[in-house]
A and B are shown apart, each in its own frame.
Chain A
Amino acid sequence: MPSREAFIEIGRLVCINYGKDSGKLGVILDICDTMTALVDGPNLKRGIYNFRRMAVTGIKLPISKSVKSTTLYKAWEAADLDGQFGKTSWGQKLARQERRKNLTDFERFKVKVLKAKKNKIIKSKLKELKN
């Protein structure tokens, strides 16, 4: 049983996790058949996506079946879905991955040095506690 109530239904926020749209959010507008649904989102092209290519979130929009894109985006903004999703640990994880992917060379260097410093402090404290 899923730990949260997250069903494939109209208005359900999903995250595409395969293909060139990977990482993008969309809302299910209609169910086409047993494997596909009509999905649309501000960064996503309105179209038919396979359930296998999406991961269901716990967030839902109260919209009716097959609304127009403009109506959807208005409801999206009103509910602040990007913000809601960003607050979840999943959303934060995606944001962290995105940040790490876009580090510049200098930032990567700083991360490496600071991480080593942090680990050194932790190791020395651990040694202290063990003794």
Chain B
Amino acid sequence: MPKQQRAPKWYPTEGPATGLTKTIEKKPQGVAKLRKSITPGTVLILLAGRFKGKRVVFLKQLESGLLLVTGPFKINGVPLRRVNQAYVIATSTKVDIAGIDTTGISDKPDEKTKRHFFSRVVAEQKEEGEGEFVSTEAKKSGLTEERKAMQVKVDESVIAAVEKTPMMKDYLKSRFSLEKGQFPHLMKF
């Protein structure tokens, strides 16, 4: 090669802008699409977590895409809870919850407080505990009065609907389990 046109020792990591590259704007992912088999009032079987195997009633899909379910609490101990669609089997059994008002329950963080219905409540630590003496009366974190009130309100109508069908209450009380010879891919739910 002639001396003037020697190959450069270092090359830039990126070549010159050619104007041919496309910057694709990433579309917002959007909320998970609700399965056709899940409609308000459907009995769902929870597959994971603390309440796995429990049969619960589906209320609505929240803004985040998670499903709002309730036991009802008095029947099987499952409170108003959020659940991911992927960890749920939808049965074909439906409870008639036509008139239920769940508008007060939302996932969307409030603009000012950045909190929503399901936000964790942090316990207020008491100022006691001087030295080695730790206060045994630390306030329990968890439920607000709002949530308790909403639970009672919603469950009232759900339980009324559940009691209309014979054996539905016992059904919701029981847990789902597989027995010998039962294969989920061959079973109808």
Contacts and interface: CB of A to CB of B under 8 A. Distances in A.
B188 A106 contact: no
B71 to A, nearest CB: 16
Contact of B93 (A102, A105, A113): A105
B188 A104 contact: yes
* Main DSSP-derived SS at the A contact region: helix
Contacts of A6: none
Contacts of A106: 43, 91-93, 168, 171
Interface in A94-122: 101-106, 109-110, 113
B69 to A, nearest CB: 16
B125 interface: no
> How large, as a class, is the contact surface on chain A?
under 10
B88 to A, nearest CB: 13
Contacts of B186: 101
A105 B176 contact: yes
B188 to A, nearest CB: 5
Contacts of B187: 105
Nearest to A108: B187
Nearest 8 Cβ contacts at the A-B interface:
A106-B93, A105-B91, A105-B189, A109-B171, A104-B92, A102-B188, A110-B167, A106-B171
Given A103-B188, A106-B92, A109-B171, 10 more contacts: A101-B188, A104-B92, A104-B93, A104-B189, A105-B92, A106-B43, A106-B91, A106-B171, A110-B167, A110-B171
